[in-house]
């Protein structure tokens, strides 16, 4: 399969011409698979006039699914008996979560891709992970797991060992296990061990760093890194900038601000993560590309203009998720490499789209794309 060929290179090794050749070959293979094996996707492609053999395709012409479509429809491109897991995205009590159906091919690709990308930033050596979340192993989990737990599990493939440092109290709120944390980090400081502090952005700031700061508890982990995932929505509503976030965590844990890595990803293409490069921008690796679309017209926007972000990747095999339009707003900043020589389209995520925009290009499109002629 062409997808595995992409993983033989370093994530940001190739220039645009070299990358496009390999990525489009993999996309052609992926698109043909989904067209042949997903009735819904084939119907959508036919309506768009997008038909095999998918030669010389342009990224922007690939029919995309709005992310909300995965909340309402069982989309699959493989036989039902080959599915091994259902992945449910995070959602509020008033929202319906997305349901992504995984087979072994997709699940293995997710793990291999995440390790491939993560090692480009932290190295190939396995490192102890200190996880600031509740231990999901204490719960009885079936084959339906949340994106939150899946994200944690995914990152732990790079861990030499892992320890959880939070519990859920009677109010269902996360609380730091302070005695355990202090004892563990005292040994880390003594041995000057390199560790990775890992957690969700809001949890690390509000439930960990701020709590420790209020108690004047500080550590000296100069050799270590912090990786945080999960977005900025809650912190932005509280007017917490990235600088405030980084400086707060740095002052509490003694980790240098350039070793605090902001990682972005989403359930519908789980396994692909976008980590800040040296210039503070995220870049598309060999396995993906980004399109920015106007919220009103859904037409592609020029570089520099903000709009809805769409990510294209041949990673998903068990469901037609190779082109997904999100409800996040972002912009392409540059197509130049960073100071470490990382190639790829560089972008930044600016926030969430307004509710009306999400409704306009998500729910309504989902209703028309699939519901007609069922």
Cβ atoms of 157 and 107 within 8 Å: the answer is no
pLDDT at 140: 46
pLDDT at 368: 52
Tokens 């355990």 sit on residue: 180
Q: Where are the beta strands (DSSP E) in the chain?
A: 65-66, 83-88, 99-103, 127-134, 144-146, 159-168, 174-176, 196-200, 225-229, 260-264, 274-275, 282-283, 289-293, 307-312, 323-334, 346-352
Q: Which domains does the chain have, with CATH numbers?
A: 2-371 (3.40.50.12780)
pLDDT at 165: 95
Residue numbers in the chain where pLDDT is lower than 70 = 90-96, 139-147, 355-374
CA separation for the pair 252, 166 (Å, rounded)? 17
DSSP strand pairing (307-312 vs 323-334): antiparallel
DSSP strand pairing (65-66 vs 323-334): parallel
pLDDT at 170: 81
Q: Which residues contact 271 (CB under 8 A, 6 or more apart)?
A: 109, 110, 111, 112, 113, 114, 154, 265, 315
pLDDT at 90: 61
The answer to whether the bond into 46 is cis (omega within 30° of 0) is no
Q: Helix (H, G, I), strand (E, B), or coil: what is residue 66?
A: strand
Name the nearest CA neighbour of 269 among 122, 65, 4.
Answer: 65
pLDDT at 1: 79
Name the nearest CA neighbour of 159 among 186, 189, 123, 134.
Answer: 123
* pLDDT tens string 53-84: 998 899 999 999 999 899 888 899 999 999 99
Cβ atoms of 281 and 347 within 8 Å: the answer is yes
């Amino acid at each position: 399969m062409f997808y595995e060929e992409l993983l033989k290179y370093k994530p940001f090794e190739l220039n645009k011409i070299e990358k496009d050749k390999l990525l489009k070959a993999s996309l052609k293979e992926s698109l043909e698979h989904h067209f042949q094996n997903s009735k819904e996707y084939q119907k959508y492609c036919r309506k768009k006039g997008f038909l095999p053999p998918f030669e010389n395709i342009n990224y922007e012409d690939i029919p995309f699914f709005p992310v909300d479509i995965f909340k309402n429809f069982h989309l699959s491109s493989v036989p039902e008996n080959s599915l091994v897991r259902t992945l449910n995205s995070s959602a509020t009590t008033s929202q319906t979560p997305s349901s992504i159906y995984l087979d072994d091919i997709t699940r293995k690709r997710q793990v291999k891709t995440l390790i491939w990308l993560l090692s480009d930033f932290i190295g190939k050596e396995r490192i102890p992970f200190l996880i600031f979340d509740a231990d999901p192993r204490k719960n009885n989990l079936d084959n339906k797991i949340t994106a939150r737990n899946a994200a944690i599990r995914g990152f732990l493939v790079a861990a030499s060992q892992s320890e959880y440092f939070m519990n859920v109290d009677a109010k269902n709120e996360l609380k730091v296990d302070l005695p355990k944390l202090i004892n563990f980090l005292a040994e880390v400081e003594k041995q000057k061990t390199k560790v990775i502090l890992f957690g969700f952005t809001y949890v690390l700031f509000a439930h960990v760093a701020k709590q420790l700061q209020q108690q004047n508890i500080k550590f000296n982990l100069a050799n270590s890194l912090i990786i945080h995932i999960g977005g900025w929505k809650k912190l932005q509503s509280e007017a917490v900038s990235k600088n405030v976030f980084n400086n707060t965590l740095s002052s509490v844990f003694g980790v240098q601000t350039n070793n605090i890595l902001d990682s972005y990803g989403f359930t519908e293409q789980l396994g692909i993560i976008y980590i800040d490069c040296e210039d503070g921008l995220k870049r598309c690796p060999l396995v993906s590309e980004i399109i920015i679309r106007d919220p009103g017209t859904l037409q592609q926007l020029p570089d520099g203009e903000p709009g809805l972000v769409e990510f294209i990747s041949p990673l998903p095999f068990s469901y037609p998720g190779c082109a997904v339009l999100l409800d996040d707003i972002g912009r392409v900043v540059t197509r130049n490499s960073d100071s470490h020589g990382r190639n790829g389209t560089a972008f930044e995520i600016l926030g969430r789209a307004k509710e009306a925009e999400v409704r306009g290009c998500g729910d309504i499109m989902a209703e028309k794309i699939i519901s007609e002629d069922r």
